[in-house]
C-alpha cells in the first residue's frame, strides 16, 4: 500500500493527481468553484509527511539536522522551480511589451527568493478577484509560503524536544503535538483576523496560511499510533475525509472569507484522509486509477507549469476552447518532460547528497541541532529569525514591479513626454480619428508613447503621489497641497477636484485654460469620488468623507470662478456589479442624488460647477497589448449608464466626453491618431489629455470668461 521509492502512500499520490488536475481545470475554465482547495490538500500532505520524517529522525538519531533538511528541500524544489520561473520570464518578454515584461521579471525575482507571497501582498494582488490579467507566476505564492513555514517548523520540533532522549518516541510525539496544538490556535486566530481585515492579503499571508499545515502535522506525529487502528476503520474515516474534501471543491461559498473560515472544511477533510488513508475496497480502486497516479507523480512540475501556460497561451492566441484544451495538454507535456529530464535525474544524482547525509561539517556545526547543544540551537534560531525579518521586510520595500522601479526603467529606456503632434479642433475631427483607429489592423508605427514605453509614468505629473497632488484617501487639506498652474495673480481661477482621474485630466485642463489667463489648481484623492456616492454593500468610507471635506475647504478659500469635478466611471460599474438586478434602479437614483448634492455644495463656493464625464476604462494597456496581436485586443466600451450616473440629477452641468473617445456604438479604441489613450486601466496618458485641450476649452470656458 506504500510506494517505497517515493515514501508516498499510493492513495496520497493519487489524491495529489486528482487535485492537481482539479487546479488545472479551475485555472483554465473557472470550475469547479472551489478548485483552489487543492492547495489546502497539498499543505496538509506536506505537513504530514515532513513531520513524520522529523519525528522518525529525532527518535532514531536524537537530533534533527537542519542542513540535511534544507538540502532535501532544495533538491526537491529548486531545479524545477528555477526552470519554470526562468522560462516564464523569457516567454513573457516575447509576448508582452516592456512595461509588463518588467513586472513579470520582478515577480520571477521574488519567486526565486521564495518571497513571492509577500511581493504580491505589497503589489495588492487579489487571487480570487483579479482586476486584470494575473501574473503568470502568481501561483508561486504557495511555494513561498511552504518554504517559509518549513524554515520555522523543524526548529520548533527541535526546541520542543531538547531534553528528550533518543528513542523516547512517546515523549517526542507528545511534545510535538502540544506545540502544534498551540500553533494551530494562534495561527487560526490570526488567520480569522487577517481574513476579516484584509482578505486579499490574507490569501497570501504565511502566518494566515500556517494553520493549514498543522492538522497534517498532528497526523504525521501520531502516524505510528494511528497505523495500529483496524484498517477498515481507517479506510472508513479516510474515505469520509476525502468526500468532505471533494465536496468543498464543488460547494465552496465564495462569499465566505478565505483562508478562514473558507478553508476549514477542505483542511479538515484533507487531514482525515491523509492521516487515516484509504487502504482497500472500491474507494481505493476509484481513487488510485492509473491516470491519477501518473498525474500524482508529476504533480509538482504540473502545478508549476500549468499556471504560466494558462495565462500566456490565451494572452497570445485568445481564449477559445481549442486554446484552453491545448493549454491543458501542453501543461501535462511540459510537466512530464520536466519530471523525466530534470526532477528525477536531480533526485537520483549526488547533488547535495553529502549535505543530506550530514557530511558538510562546517555548517553542520552550526545547524545540526543536538539535544545537549543549547548554543547551537540559539544560533540556528538566530539565523531563522534573520531570514524571517528579511521576508517581512520585503513587503515594505518597493517590489520589482512597483512604481519606483517602473519609473527607473522608464527613464533608462527614454521615457519622454513630447508635446502632442496635434490638438483635436472639434468633435468632428476627433470622431474621424476614433473611427480610423477602430478600423486599423495594427498599432501605429509612430505611436506615442510607444508600447515599450507605455509605463504609468506617462500619466500626468500631477498623478505622482510624491511630487504631484494625488493623495491617499482620508488626507486633510492641511496635508494636501494642490498643484498650481498659471500665475497667482490671474484674473480667473479654476479648481480641478476629484479622484485620481482628475489628475490624469490635469494637462488638458491646464493647456485649455492657462493660455487664456487662468490659474488652475488641482487636488485629488485616490479612489475617492468628490460625491458622497453610495456603496453597494457598505456605507461610504469615513476616510473618503474626510477627503471630500478637504476638497470643499479648498474651494471655500479659493474664490474660484470654475470648479471642475471628475470621478472615474469604473467605480460605478464595480459597485453595480455587486448588486442584484432588482436593486440597481434604486441604487442609480441614490447615486444621481449624491452627484446633485455634491454639485450644489460646490455651487455655494464657486461661480460655476462642471462635472467632467468619465473617460473610458478597460484592460490595462500593458496586459492587452501583445507583440503577437493587434490593437483590437485593447478596445473597450464605455457603458452609457456610467455617463448617466455622472451627468444626471437636478440641473448638473456635465461634459460628456464619450464622443471624444468612442464611436456611435460606444466602442473605444486604445489609441487616437498617434496617441495611446490609457496608461493603465482607467487613467489617460498626459499626451491624450493635452490633445483634448481645445475640446475642453470649448466645454469649460463660458462667454462671460
Give the DSSP letter string of 295-349.
HHHTHHHHHHHHHHHHHHHHHHH-S-HHHHHHHHHHHHHHHHHHIIIIIHHHHHS
Q: Does the domain at residues 427-700 carry the CATH identifier 3.30.1120?
A: no
Give the max Cα distance, the chain: 95
State how far the Cα of 460 lies from the Cα of 402, in Å rounded to an integer: 18
Task: Say what angle helices 98-112 and 403-412 make with each other, to 10 degrees.
Answer: 130
Q: Summarize the confidence of residues 453-464 as an average pLDDT.
A: 83
State how far the Cα of 351 lies from the Cα of 374, in Å rounded to an integer: 31
Please classify residue 629 by burial: count the beta carbons closer than 10 Å to its beta carbon, then call 0-12 exposed, 13-18 middle and 19+ buried: middle
At residue 484 the predicted structure's pLDDT band, cuts being 50, 70 and 90, is very high
Mean residue pLDDT of the chain comes to 86
* Closest to 660 (Cα-Cα) out of 606, 611, 603, 699: 699
At residue 138 the predicted structure's pLDDT band, cuts being 50, 70 and 90, is very high
Residue-range domain boundaries for the chain? 2-403, 427-700
Q: Mind listing the pLDDT tens digit for each residue in 644-674?
A: 666 665 578 989 899 999 999 999 999 999 9
Task: Say what angle helices 290-297 and 10-29 make with each other, to 10 degrees.
Answer: 80
State how far the Cα of 695 lies from the Cα of 508, in Å rounded to an integer: 9
Q: Are 381 and 419 in contact (CB under 8 A)?
A: no
Task: Say what angle helices 542-558 and 581-603 make with each other, to 10 degrees.
Answer: 30
Q: Which three cell numbers stand for residue 674?
A: 498617434
Q: How many CA atoms lie within 13 A of 269 on its CB side?
A: 22
Q: Collapsing DSSP states into helix, strand and coil, what is residue 614? A: coil
Q: Mind listing the pLDDT tens digit for each residue in 174-232?
A: 999 999 999 999 999 999 999 999 999 999 999 999 999 999 999 999 999 999 999 99
Q: Mind listing the pLDDT tens digit for each residue in 274-319?
A: 999 999 889 899 999 999 999 999 999 999 999 999 999 999 999 9
How much is the pLDDT for 364? 43
Q: Are 377 and 420 in contact (CB under 8 A)?
A: no
Q: How many CB atoms lie within 10 A of CB 253?
A: 10
Task: Give the alpha-carbon dihedral of 284, 285, 286, 287, to 10 degrees.
Answer: 50
Q: Summarize the confidence of residues 43-64 as an average pLDDT.
A: 94
pTM, whole model, 2 decimals? Answer: 0.85
HEC letters along 475-524: CCHHHCCCEEECCCCCCEEEEEEECHHHHHHHHHHHHHHHHHCEEEEEEE
Higher per-residue confidence, 577 vs 637: 637
State how far the Cα of 43 lies from the Cα of 214, in Å rounded to an integer: 9
Q: Are 358 and 329 in contact (CB under 8 A)?
A: no
Q: Are 363 and 67 in contact (CB under 8 A)?
A: yes
Q: At CB < 8 A and 24+ separation, what contacts does 371-379 make?
A: 371/62, 371/63, 371/161, 371/162, 371/163, 371/164, 371/165, 371/166, 374/162, 377/158, 377/159, 377/162
State how far the Cα of 119 lies from the Cα of 505, in Å rounded to an integer: 31
Amino acid at each position: 500500500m506504500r510506494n517505497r521509492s517515493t515514501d508516498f502512500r499510493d492513495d496520497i499520490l493519487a489524491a495529489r493527481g486528482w487535485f492537481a488536475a482539479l487546479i488545472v481545470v479551475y485555472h483554465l475554465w473557472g470550475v469547479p468553484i472551489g478548485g483552489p482547495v487543492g492547495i489546502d490538500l497539498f499543505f496538509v500532505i506536506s505537513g504530514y509527511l515532513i513531520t513524520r520524517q522529523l519525528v522518525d529522525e529525532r527518535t532514531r538519531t536524537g537530533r534533527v539536522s537542519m542542513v540535511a533538511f534544507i538540502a532535501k528541500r532544495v533538491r526537491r524544489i529548486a531545479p524545477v522551480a528555477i526552470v519554470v520561473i526562468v522560462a516564464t520570464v523569457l516567454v513573457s518578454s516575447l509576448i508582452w511589451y516592456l512595461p509588463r515584461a518588467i513586472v513579470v521579471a520582478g515577480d520571477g525575482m521574488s519567486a526565486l527568493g521564495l518571497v513571492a507571497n509577500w511581493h504580491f501582498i505589497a503589489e495588492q494582488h487579489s487571487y480570487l478577484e483579479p482586476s486584470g490579467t494575473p501574473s503568470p507566476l502568481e501561483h508561486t505564492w504557495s511555494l513561498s509560503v511552504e518554504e517559509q513555514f518549513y524554515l520555522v517548523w523543524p526548529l520548533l520540533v527541535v526546541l520542543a524536544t531538547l531534553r528528550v532522549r533518543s528513542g523516547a518516541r512517546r515523549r517526542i510525539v507528545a511534545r510535538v503535538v502540544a506545540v502544534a496544538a498551540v500553533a494551530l490556535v494562534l495561527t487560526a486566530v490570526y488567520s480569522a483576523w487577517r481574513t476579516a481585515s484584509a482578505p486579499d492579503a490574507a490569501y497570501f499571508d504565511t502566518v494566515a496560511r500556517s494553520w493549514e499545515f498543522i492538522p497534517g502535522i498532528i497526523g504525521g506525529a501520531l502516524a505510528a499510533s494511528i497505523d495500529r487502528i483496524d484498517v477498515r476503520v481507517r479506510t472508513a474515516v479516510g474515505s469520509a475525509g476525502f468526500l468532505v474534501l471533494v465536496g468543498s471543491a464543488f460547494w465552496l461559498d465564495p462569499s465566505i472569507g478565505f483562508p478562514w473560515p473558507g478553508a476549514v472544511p477542505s483542511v479538515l477533510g484533507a487531514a482525515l484522509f491523509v492521516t487515516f488513508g484509504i487502504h482497500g475496497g472500491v474507494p481505493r480502486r476509484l481513487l488510485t486509477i492509473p491516470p491519477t497516479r501518473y498525474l500524482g507523480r508529476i504533480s509538482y512540475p504540473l502545478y508549476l507549469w500549468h499556471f504560466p501556460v494558462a495565462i500566456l497561451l490565451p494572452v497570445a492566441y485568445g481564449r477559445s476552447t481549442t486554446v484552453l484544451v491545448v493549454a491543458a495538454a501542453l501543461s501535462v507535456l511540459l510537466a512530464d518532460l520536466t519530471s523525466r529530464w530534470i526532477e528525477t535525474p536531480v533526485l537520483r544524482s549526488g547533488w547535495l547528497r553529502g549535505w543530506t547525509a550530514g557530511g558538510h561539517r562546517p555548517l553542520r556545526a552550526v545547524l545540526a541541532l543536538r539535544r545537549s547543544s543549547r548554543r547551537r540551537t540559539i544560533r540556528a534560531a538566530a539565523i531563522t529569525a534573520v531570514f524571517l525579518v528579511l521576508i517581512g521586510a520585503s513587503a515594505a520595500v518597493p517590489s520589482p514591479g512597483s512604481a519606483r522601479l517602473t519609473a527607473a526603467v522608464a527613464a533608462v529606456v527614454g521615457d519622454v513626454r513630447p508635446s502632442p503632434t496635434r490638438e483635436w479642433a472639434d468633435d468632428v475631427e476627433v470622431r474621424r480619428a476614433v473611427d480610423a483607429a477602430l478600423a486599423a489592423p495594427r498599432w501605429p508605427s509612430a505611436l506615442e508613447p510607444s508600447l515599450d514605453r507605455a509605463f504609468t509614468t506617462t500619466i500626468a505629473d500631477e498623478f505622482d503621489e510624491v511630487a504631484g497632488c494625488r493623495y491617499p484617501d482620508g488626507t486633510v487639506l492641511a496635508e494636501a497641497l494642490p498643484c498650481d498652474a498659471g500665475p497667482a495673480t490671474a484674473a480667473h481661477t479654476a479648481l480641478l477636484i476629484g479622484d485620481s482621474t482628475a489628475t490624469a485630466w490635469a494637462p488638458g485642463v491646464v493647456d485649455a485654460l492657462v493660455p487664456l489667463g487662468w490659474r488652475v489648481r488641482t487636488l485629488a484623492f485616490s479612489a475617492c469620488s468628490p460625491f458622497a456616492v453610495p456603496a453597494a454593500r457598505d456605507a461610504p468610507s469615513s476616510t473618503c468623507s474626510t477627503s471630500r471635506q478637504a476638497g470643499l475647504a479648498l474651494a471655500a478659500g479659493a474664490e474660484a470662478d470654475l470648479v471642475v469635478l471628475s470621478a472615474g466611471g469604473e467605480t460605478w460599474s464595480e459597485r453595480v456589479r455587486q448588486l442584484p438586478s432588482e436593486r440597481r434602479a434604486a441604487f442609480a437614483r441614490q447615486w444621481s442624488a449624491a452627484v446633485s448634492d455634491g454639485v450644489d455644495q460646490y455651487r455655494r463656493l464657486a461661480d460655476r460647477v462642471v462635472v467632467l464625464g468619465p473617460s473610458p476604462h478597460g484592460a490595462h494597456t500593458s496586459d492587452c497589448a501583445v507583440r503577437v496581436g493587434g490593437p483590437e485586443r485593447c478596445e473597450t466600451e464605455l457603458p452609457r449608464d456610467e455617463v448617466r450616473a455622472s451627468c444626471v440629477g437636478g440641473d448638473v452641468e456635465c461634459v460628456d466626453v464619450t464622443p471624444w473617445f468612442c464611436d456611435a456604438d460606444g466602442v473605444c479604441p486604445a489609441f487616437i491618431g498617434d496617441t495611446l489613450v490609457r496608461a493603465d486601466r482607467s487613467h489617460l496618458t498626459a499626451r491624450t489629455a493635452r490633445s483634448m485641450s481645445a475640446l475642453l476649452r470649448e466645454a469649460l470656458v463660458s462667454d462671460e470668461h
